[in-house]
Structures are given as C-alpha cells and as structure tokens.
Amino acid sequence: MAWKSRTRSLQVFDTELSADAVEWCPVPQWHNVLACGTYQLQKGSDGAVEEDAAPSRIGRLYLFEFRQEGPMTPPLTELQHVDTAAILDLKWCHIPLSEKPVLGMATAVGELQLYTLTDSQEGCQALKPLTSLSMGAKCLALSLDWSTGRGDSGDVRVVCSDSLGSVSVLSAGEAGLRAARQWKAHDFEAWISAFSYWDTQLVYSGGDDCKLKGWDLRISPSSPTFISKRHTMGVCSIHSNPHREHILATGSYDEQVLLWDGRNMRQPLSESAVGGGVWRLKWHPVHQNLLLAACMHNDFHILHCQQALEGSGVACPILASYILHNSLAYGADWSRVSLDDPPPCSPQPAEPKWGPAEGGGHLRIQYESPTASFDTSLEDDAGCYIPESPAPLPPPPPTASGEGGPSLSCLLASCSFYDHMLHVWRWDWTPEEAPGAAQNQTEESQAGAVAKLAL
C-alpha cells in the first residue's frame, strides 16, 4: 500500500492587522465557526515607536463561518469583526457554558476577556462580550488554556500567563470570572500556560527564562513539581494530549518540539528539530498521534508522533508542510469539520509533476500571495489536471486508535504576522494500490522549488 499526502489552499483572507491566533470552535453544532485574533503595535508618523510614551497596541477579533458550497465558491464568510485591544491568544472553551460556546481572549491590556457566541438579529452567529478580569497592572496577558480539554464540565477553569512572569488560575461560571490563585512563576515573560487535561489540578508553564515548570494547585505555588531546563531558549508552547494520559508536547524558540511523559520530566520521550521557533502546538482533536506545529520562521508542519510515543526515542517525522505564508507562522488550529467530500476538481490546486509531462503540460498558478509564493497545478492543453508523481516519505497517519487506516482529510487554519494573512487549507491522505514504500508529496514544497528557480 502506498500513500500520498497533499496540502492545498482553500482561501486566503487579509486581516489588515498582524494576525497571531486562530481557533476553530470545538463545540458540536458550531464546528464550522472560526475566530482569528490580531495584534498591532502602533507607531508614530515617522514609523518609529515613541520611547517616552506607553506603547499603544490595538487588535481586531474576526469571526468566520466555513461552508462547503462548491469548488468555485469561497468557503469562508466573515460574520463579524470587533476592534479590541491587541490579542495575544484565543481559546474556545471545549464545552458550552450556559448552553453557548464561549471564547477566551488574552489581551495586551492585561485582561482575560470572554465572549459568548449568540445568534445575531440577522440570523447569523456573532460574538458578544460576556465578562473580563484583569491579571494585573502594566502587564500583557500572553496565553490562556481551559481545563475542559477532555470535555469535563465539572469544574471549568482558565489558566492565564502574563508578561510579568505570573500565572493565574480563574474559575469560570455563570457569575463570570473569579480569580482563584496567582503566583510568580518565571523571571521574565511567562509565554505559555496549560492544564493537564487528565488531572486539571496540574498546570504547566513556560517562560523566557528557558524553563518549563509544573505546578500542583493543591500545594503551595512556591514549590513547582518540577523545573526543566531541557529547552535552551524561551519556552512558548505547551499542549496536553487529550487522547493519551501523561503525554505533553512543548515547543521553544530553540526550534525543538519535545514530547514528554508527565510521570518523568527529567528526560523527554523525543526531540524533533523543526527549523523555526515553535510558537504553537496543537494535538489533533481525534487522531492521537498527529501534532500541528506553527514554527515561526519555518512555516507550519504536521508531525507523526506514534513511534516517539511508543518509546522509540526517534524524532517525529514531518508528514506534511504548509509553506504558502511568507511571514512569522504564529497561529494554527485543526477543525473538527468533516471533509467527506473529495477535493475539488476544478480548479484543483494539486502538486505539479516536475519535468516534461507526456503529451506536454502547462503549469497553472492557482493562488499567488502578496509576497510572491504561489500554489500550482499542471494542466494539459485542454485544461485538464495532470496527476503528479509522488515522492517517498514516512508511513501513513494513524487512525484514532493509533493504527494505520483509510484516507484522512483534515481542515486547518493558520495565520502569519507581518503579512497579516489568514489561510484556510486542507490536508488529504489518500491510499492507492502501488508497490514499494509509503509515498508522500506536498504541493507547497514544489511551489517553493519553483520560486527558487525563478530567482
């Protein structure tokens, strides 16, 4: 059995301000709702930030709806945008609160803000401010995570980290947000904080002091349960695996993705070099061994973690890459939307076959970004798509049980900073009967080759 892997752009949206966070709604019935947050540092008329004045940071919160209505219809529709303080992080609560989806937002004014998703007067979905709570004076709220990663509704809490190195745990209920505990966790910026979804009394944090720390909320925060210096630069991403107990993924400016068993934090299970600072990591919502990484200076990658989690100690191979962004790769997320339909046939942004094609062929640009990267397919004289020749890569992805399985199609969103772009794209694994080793190819790597040849 051979396998092919394809990533293809579905739509690109200009967010105007620098985009740094995207989140698909995890609550059933609203899986097609996408939120995107932006962050912009205001500059003076000469283009410089005024040193004497407090920096002004503005943001905008976007709400979109995804619909599959045909190959020629853009699937993403903007429902709403709201000007806000600059947004550093977004996370939906995994379960509805008061029967409504709730979005948490960490802002540059040091607040954790909650929005509820409601029906607007026009019959569309809209975000409405619910409540907010300050993390402290003169700080930026940098990250947040909900305790509900495994669908547990017993005790809904939020953990938030800030630019002064503190971590705060808050209770979320019908009465709003209530501060439960706050402590100094890191010497510099606490870039990231996260719950263990299997034991929500355990919290992890990472900071610009290059330390990864664990905390038990049942004991004094003056004594972390562990301090790891395994990362050599600032720790900026942590995500607990919602499918496998004790498993944790962390990322850092040191360009490494580390997988951990929470019962032994002295040594990671594996270390994978991804070639860029790892700003965000997201486990797949269903498939336990797939990990999405936003790698700042080196695009977006999907890692296959099965062998590493089985104790082999090997680095996680990259199954697919999305490289059509041309700025800092910050926000990324998997959607739970089912893509049962086959990829669109016309236009079909598929991988070109390099070298002369039988009967000739023409390279067609399907999408070109403002920064000159592009998506391509190969067509014959009649405009029909010419299939590509696959190139070898690692084994097929797992099913939910971790075994090899049938074809898999995933919907994803990603955003990049300075070019202020939001991309919605799909990743397809397609099995086909063929001899030899497993097969894989992504159109973006080929598009990159074209760009290099054009220079």
Report pLDDT digits (tens) over 184-229: 999 999 999 999 999 999 999 999 999 999 999 999 888 999 999 9
Residues forming a β-bridge with 9: 425
pLDDT attached to residue 304: 94
φ, ψ dihedrals at 147, nearest 5°: -80, 0
The three-class DSSP label of residue 345 is coil
Report pLDDT digits (tens) over 288-342: 999 999 999 999 999 999 999 999 999 999 999 999 999 999 999 999 998 865 5
Q: Per mean pLDDT, which range of 104-113, 141-150, 166-175, 255-264 is the poorest?
A: 166-175
Report the alpha-carbon angle 14-16-19, nearest 5.
Answer: 80
pLDDT attached to residue 406: 67
In the predicted structure, residue 403 carries a pLDDT above the cut 60: no
- What value does the mean pLDDT take over residues 283-289? 96
Between 154 and 185, the more confident residue is 185
Q: How many CA atoms lie within 13 A of 337 on its CB side?
A: 26
Calculate what percentage of the chain has a pLDDT beyond 70: 76
Residue 66 Ramachandran class (φ > 0 left, ψ -120 to 50 alpha, else beta): beta
- 446 membership: H or E segment, kind and range: helix 443-454
Report pLDDT digits (tens) over 345-376: 433 333 333 333 344 444 444 444 443 444 54
- What value does the mean pLDDT take over residues 430-450? 40
Q: Per mean pLDDT, which range of 267-271, 277-281, 376-380 is the poorest?
A: 376-380
Report pLDDT digits (tens) over 96-151: 999 999 999 999 999 999 999 998 777 789 999 999 999 999 999 999 999 999 99
